[in-house]
Amino acid sequence: MVSEKGSFSIQKLIEEKKKNKSAHTIIEKLVPFILLFTAVLSVLTTLGIVFTLIFETFTFFSKVSFIEFITEKKWYPFSETKGTYGILPLVSGTLRVTLIAIIVAVPIGLASAVFLSEYASERTRRIIKPILEVLAGIPTIVYGFFALTFVTPILRQFIPTLEIFNALSPGIVIGIMITPMIASLSEDAMTSVPNSMREGALALGSTKFEVSMKVVLPAAISGIVSSIVLAISRAIGETMIVAVAGGSTPTWGWDVTSSIQTMTAYIVQVSTGDAGYGTTIYYSIYAVGMTLFVFTLLMNLLAQYISKRFREEY
């Protein structure tokens, strides 16, 4: 009786295992197709965006000279007479804000990365790093109003000629926003440097600061430079901070105290309904978007090149 029960339970287990195995086999066969579908979908989405930009940009250049677009220093698309479409003022505004942001973010980000990687204890690192990364999760519209209502009034106490809308305030706040990106990626690159290199330098009599500056930083330079380039791309593409605190006056030059307009801020302005569908102004946002796309693409390609060029093998 017992043997019959035992035989029955074993057969039941075998049958259940076969069923489970067949189910697992079906899942194993389906998973690659699902993953392939998601990968193809992302590629097709990217291609759709690029082709849309290209098509609409060609429509714009059928109405506006390409030479005028890249050489003219005036951007007056809403002129009552004939609009002027020179991209240089928008590029100038974008680069001014980006330069200020990088001047703020790089020293703070690298200093934070060195501290977290080389000086902070494990407990301190677990506390400080999440706090730094919280900055990256704050909505950019909040940063924009912070720049307009808090940073600008403080700066005007030291710079009386500073206008309400300017390049300096949003540039500083964008620098604060991208600091966690530089700090986190650079810290990861420094942490990946083998401890044997640190121990060897310390054994030769180097101080901890000398090890950090002359051993760890050069060894992690690939990841550090890539993080900076990616942060530049992020600053170039920032929208809401410059739209709120930068103004809407496209000007050619390097004055950071007056109102400016960046490429992204112009796209926001037109997208909110200032231009009718099918007009030259409407198609101009695609030309500006393509210019922005080229800038960020070049930054990403530069980051990849630097990462491959300076990667050290351990």
Q: Are residues 290 and 183 in the same domain?
A: yes
> Does 225 fall in a domain?
yes
> Does 179 fall in a domain?
yes
Q: Are residues 155 and 303 in the same domain?
A: yes
Distance CA 302, CA 12 (A): 61
pLDDT more than 70, % of the chain: 88
Residue 76 has phi, psi (to 5 degrees) of: -130, 70
Q: Are residues 17 and 84 in the same domain?
A: no
> Does 314 fall in a domain?
no
- Number of domains into which the chain is organized: 2
The DSSP secondary-structure symbol of 97 reads H
Res 187 pLDDT > 80: yes
> Does 101 fall in a domain?
yes
Distance CA 105, CA 173 (A): 9
Q: Are residues 240 and 106 in the same domain?
A: yes
Task: Tell which of 22, 39, 62 closes a domain.
Answer: 62
> Does 175 fall in a domain?
yes
> Does 219 fall in a domain?
yes
Q: Are residues 290 and 239 in the same domain?
A: yes
CATH number of the domain where residue 209 is located: 1.10.3720.10
DSSP 231-295: HHHHHHH--HHHHHHT-S----S--SSS----HHHHHHHIIIIIS-TTSHHHHHHHHHHHHHHHH
Q: Are residues 22 and 95 in the same domain?
A: no
Nearest to 165 by CA among 248, 236, 88, 76: 248
pLDDT digits (tens, 9 = 90+) for 132-145: 778 778 888 999 99
Nearest to 241 by CA among 165, 158, 182: 165
Q: Are residues 13 and 134 in the same domain?
A: no
> Does 69 fall in a domain?
no
Q: Are residues 37 and 147 in the same domain?
A: no
Res 309 pLDDT > 80: no
The pTM of this model reads 0.81
pLDDT digits (tens, 9 = 90+) for 210-267: 888 888 888 888 888 888 888 988 898 888 899 888 888 888 888 888 888 888 888 8
pLDDT digits (tens, 9 = 90+) for 285-306: 888 888 888 888 888 887 777 7
Angle at 155 between CA 104 and CA 268, to 5 degrees: 70
Q: Are residues 24 and 127 in the same domain?
A: no
Q: Are residues 248 and 276 in the same domain?
A: yes
Q: Are residues 130 and 231 in the same domain?
A: yes
pLDDT digits (tens, 9 = 90+) for 42-91: 888 888 888 888 888 888 888 888 888 888 888 887 776 777 888 889 99
Task: Tell which of 41, 62, 83 closes a domain.
Answer: 62
Give SS3 for 205.
coil
* The pLDDT value given to residue 36: 86
Give the residue numbers spanning the domain of 24. 2-62
Task: Tell me the pLDDT band of 31, cut-offs 50, 70 and 90.
Answer: confident
> Does 70 fall in a domain?
no
Residue type, 113: A
Q: Are residues 220 and 126 in the same domain?
A: yes
